[in-house]
């Protein structure tokens, strides 16, 4: 039995509960603490999605990176036993370095010696706007707490070098945008019996939008979650200004979204988010989809069939692979997972870039979807 000793973080006056900083306050096996970064060019050629997660009650740390380039998705995933140094954000070839909290990060994927033409990168992600809280997120299924999370989101610029398929791509200032999300709390990870909640209380439908957008002079964040009947369980629309502007965050009302889907799918091609400023002036946030990356392919989000976050893969596990996205039939579960779309946005005469993250499964009355097989006409 290992000896339970203090860790380095215990030296600092940052404790929230009478436990070592290596322990979380809840005994729920689904406790998690993780991040996601998006890096994408404004021409719609490439979309890099990467993240790292810690699962303290199952003793797992893992990370991933996926690059959508053309019709191919390159993926690098790594998992290991969680160590005691929680400031070490590295797993296998993947590493996130916090150079300046809430401001600057170095994102690294080391090359594979066996495949020097595979995915690798060394990037600097720099925030242009203060981080902003999203609403406290609570989701129950019957009496079972399925999710309770706290998140903040931020936008910035990215520079550095990205390598894939023997090509070196230099990220020029002004031509790439970065967004990121930090979250922690309780969220389902694989390996738990769903019990009665899974058998008797399966949701009829789920509709999700998460839209961080960087403009030159402001950052706009919209998040919406709705049930099958359109009842909204999560809602926020806010614009954030650079710290130097000295302007407070401004809420943008109750967002309503019109999405144009590709016929025969739930794949968005364009969208309009109807907002309202504080003077009650209507605003339209318009999105034009550029390139898409399904999170259930390569990135480990449910219902990925090959690997999901928090699952124990053994010590020192690393996996690299490529997915052909030209044939949707090769990835049938991707349609039942959230997809991240890089997009060009317009708002009140401004042009910006961001992520249009969307998932719509099952019945959704406002969209006219009647069941899990329903698609746009």
Rounded Cα gap, residues 338 and 323, in angstroms: 17
**Domains of the chain by start residue, with CATH:** 32-188+195-367 (2.40.370.10)
pLDDT over 90 for what percent of the chain? Answer: 91
List C-alpha distances in Å: 38 to 134, 177, 202, 212, 327.
17, 8, 31, 10, 24
Mean pLDDT of 15-40: 95
- The CA-CA-CA angle for residues 58, 233, 153, to 5°, reads 60
Q: What tens digit of pLDDT does each residue of 168-210 get?
A: 999 998 999 999 999 999 999 999 888 888 888 888 999 999 9
pLDDT over 70 for what percent of the chain? Answer: 99
Give the tokens for residue 331. 């990835």
Tell me the three-class secondary structure of the chain, residue by residue.
CCCCCCCHHHHCCCCCCCCCCCCCCCCCCCEEEEEEEEEEECCCCEEEEEEEEEECCCCEEEEEEEEEECCEEEEEEEEEECCCCCCCCEECCEEEEEEECCCEEEEEECCECCECCCCEEEEEEEECCCCEECCCEEEEECCEEEEEEEEEEEEEEEEEEEEECCEEEEECCCCEEEEEEEEEEECCCCCCCCHHHHHHCCCCEEEEEEEEEECCCCEEEEEEEEECCCCEEEEEEEEECCHHHCCCCEECCCCEEEEEECCCCCCEEEEEEEEECCCCCEEEEEEEEEEEEECCCCCCCCCCCCCCCCCCCCCCEEEEEEEECCCHHHCHHHHHCCEEEEEEEEECCEEEEEEEEEEEEECEHHHCECCCCCCCC
- Cβ neighbours around 42 below 10 Å, total: 15
The pLDDT value given to residue 195: 84
Residues forming a β-bridge with 272: 258, 286
Indicate the average pLDDT of the chain: 96
> Quick check: 2 pLDDT over 80?
no
The pLDDT value given to residue 193: 82
Rounded Cα gap, residues 327 and 330, in angstroms: 6
Confidence of residue 1 (pLDDT cuts 50, 70, 90): low
Mean pLDDT of 109-134: 95
CB 308 within 8 A of CB 30: no
> Quick check: 117 pLDDT over 90?
no
HSE-up (13 A, CA, CB side) for residue 261 = 17
CB 40 within 8 A of CB 353: yes
Confidence of residue 5 (pLDDT cuts 50, 70, 90): confident
Mean pLDDT of 121-133: 97
Q: What tens digit of pLDDT does each residue of 268-310 get?
A: 999 999 999 999 999 999 999 999 999 999 999 999 999 999 9
Confidence of residue 22 (pLDDT cuts 50, 70, 90): very high
Q: What tens digit of pLDDT does each residue of 346-373 get?
A: 999 999 999 999 999 999 999 999 999 9
Confidence of residue 239 (pLDDT cuts 50, 70, 90): very high
List C-alpha distances in Å: 169 to 16, 71, 109, 110, 201.
43, 17, 14, 15, 48
């Amino acid at each position: 039995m290992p000896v339970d000793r203090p860790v380095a973080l215990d030296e600092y006056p940052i404790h929230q509960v009478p436990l070592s900083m290596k322990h979380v306050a809840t005994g729920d096996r689904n406790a998690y603490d993780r991040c996601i970064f998006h890096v994408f060019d404004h021409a719609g050629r490439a979309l890099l999605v990467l993240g790292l997660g810690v699962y303290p009650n199952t003793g797992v740390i893992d990370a991933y990176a996926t690059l959508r380039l053309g019709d191919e998705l390159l993926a690098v995933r790594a998992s290991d036993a969680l160590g005691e140094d929680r400031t070490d954000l590295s797993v296998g070839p993947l590493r996130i370095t916090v150079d300046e909290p809430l401001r600057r990060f170095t994102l690294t994927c080391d090359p594979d010696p066996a495949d020097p033409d595979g995915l690798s990168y060394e990037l600097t992600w720099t925030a242009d706007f203060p981080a902003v809280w999203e609403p406290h997120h609570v989701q129950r299924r019957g009496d079972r707490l399925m999710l309770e999370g706290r998140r903040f989101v931020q936008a910035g610029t990215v520079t550095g070098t990205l390598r894939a398929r023997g090509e070196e791509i230099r990220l020029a200032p002004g031509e790439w945008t970065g967004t990121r999300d930090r979250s922690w709390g309780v969220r389902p990870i694989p390996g738990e019996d769903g019990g009665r909640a899974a058998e008797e209380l399966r949701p009829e439908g789920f509709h999700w939008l998460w839209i961080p957008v960087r403009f030159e002079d402001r950052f706009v964040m919209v998040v919406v979650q709705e049930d099958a009947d359109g009842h909204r369980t999560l809602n926020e629309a806010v614009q954030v200004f650079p710290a130097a502007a000295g302007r407070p965050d401004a809420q943008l009302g109750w967002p309503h979204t019109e999405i144009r889907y590709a016929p025969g799918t739930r794949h968005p091609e364009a969208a309009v988010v109807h907002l309202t400023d504080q003077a009650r002036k209507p605003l339209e946030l318009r999105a034009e989809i550029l390139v898409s990356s399904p999170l259930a392919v390569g990135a480990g989000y449910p219902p990925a069939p090959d690997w999901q976050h928090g699952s124990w893969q053994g010590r020192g596990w690393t996996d690299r692979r490529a997915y052909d996205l030209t044939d949707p039939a090769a990835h049938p579960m991707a349609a039942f997972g959230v997809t991240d779309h890089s997009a060009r946005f317009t708002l009140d005469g401004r042009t910006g870039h961001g992520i249009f993250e969307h998932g719509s499964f099952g019945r959704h009355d406002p969209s006219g979807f009647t069941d899990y097989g329903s698609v746009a006409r």
